[in-house]
Amino acid sequence: MDLKNDKRQQIQLQLDFSCSRAGEACGTGREETESPLAAHDTESPAITNQWMEEVCERENLKKAWQQVKANKGSAGIDRMTVGQLDDYLKQHGPFIREQLLKGTYEPKPVRRVEIPKPDGGVRKLGIPTVLDRLIQQAVMQVLQRHWDRTFSEGSYGFRPGRSAHQAVAQAQQYIAEGYGWCVDFDLEKFFDRVNHDKLMGGIAKRVADKRLLKLIRAFLNAGVLENGLVSPSVEGAPQGGPLSPLLSNLVLDELDRELERRGLRFVRYADDCNIYVRSERAGQRVMKSVTRFITGKLKLQVNEAKSAVARPQERKFLGFSFTAGPEVKRVIAPKALDRFKQRIREITRRAKGVSIETTIAKLAPICGVGETISVSAKRRRC
């Protein structure tokens, strides 16, 4: 999974904002200086060492398999496709389950894939084998079930019942309440710089099952196959596997808690984090102190060239910006709109000789109106 592209695709190309969904923050109000901690469970060590049994439960594995099939995706280094995994599991499923329960399963290295970034350059992904994706998905489901309720109210990325739309709506709410300056952090190569020891230390505070800890460490250390050679993974959490988004939330939960402790109003979606304050002076002070916390405590790097203290109208958040004036409105950032138009042109340009249904199927997820378009097309055809 490419996290940045995934979140932009979700929000840049869909314009239906609703504040009625669970977890929506449109009506949120807080004190100006110090606010209480968000209403979430406190972090505490796990009291059971049976989480691997939860991972291997039939229903959990069935749900994970359905999700992997739905996501499709490329083959890993073994070239096994999603369609081939079903037969493989019928033969080897019991043995794989036994390995997981004994703590002896060993993931394969990920396959390096480079995809172009919208603003230039390339993003390096690590594609696990289909079997490893299945196991990662099963692990993620168990961890998420236990962990999600402990995460901050200010965290919106890759969490059940929460969305990028809600994150943008909450940012809009803060601006409307008078917090007219934005502290916009850009974490430099976040997924490449995650410290394994620090991450595993955070996981160990929440997981007592040593088999599961060993498996997660094995996924982190699996290595990368590139140009025929396997390179060891000494840091980072490769983008491309189902487990990476959850681990990113765990790493940055420490930042969320620090911002809550300071009573700051913030919105975070994966590694995109904006803090909203009332003055430029306050913003500069927050930028300096939070940068010090990120580099010193979290051992991550802030990209100073891309980070800034500015008016929200001068920045973009998850593909959107905001208008000035008494009534704050959301607007699509110019670059996001240009990419949307270009994508539409690419699909419709290739539509010659292709059925209308096929073209609609490609346009629907981009426009966010698939059902309406499909119904209209059927009516025209009839």
Helix 82-102 with 210-220: angle, nearest 10 deg = 130
> For residue 378, what pLDDT band results from cuts at 50, 70 and 90?
very low
How does pLDDT run across 175-191, given as a tens digit for each residue?
Answer: 999 999 999 999 988 88
Average pLDDT score, the chain? 82
What does each C-alpha distance from 357 to 72, 329, 350, 361, 375 come to in angstroms?
21, 35, 14, 6, 11
352 pLDDT above the threshold of 70: no
Given a contact cutoff of 8 angstroms between Cβ atoms, the answer to whether 250 and 147 are in contact is yes
How does pLDDT run across 210-237, given as a tens digit for each residue?
Answer: 999 999 999 999 988 877 778 777 777 7
Predicted local confidence at residue 360, as pLDDT: 80
Given a contact cutoff of 8 angstroms between Cβ atoms, the answer to whether 128 and 75 are in contact is no
pTM score: 0.77
Distance, in Å, from the CA atom of 338 to the CA atom of 58, rounded to the nearest integer, reads 46
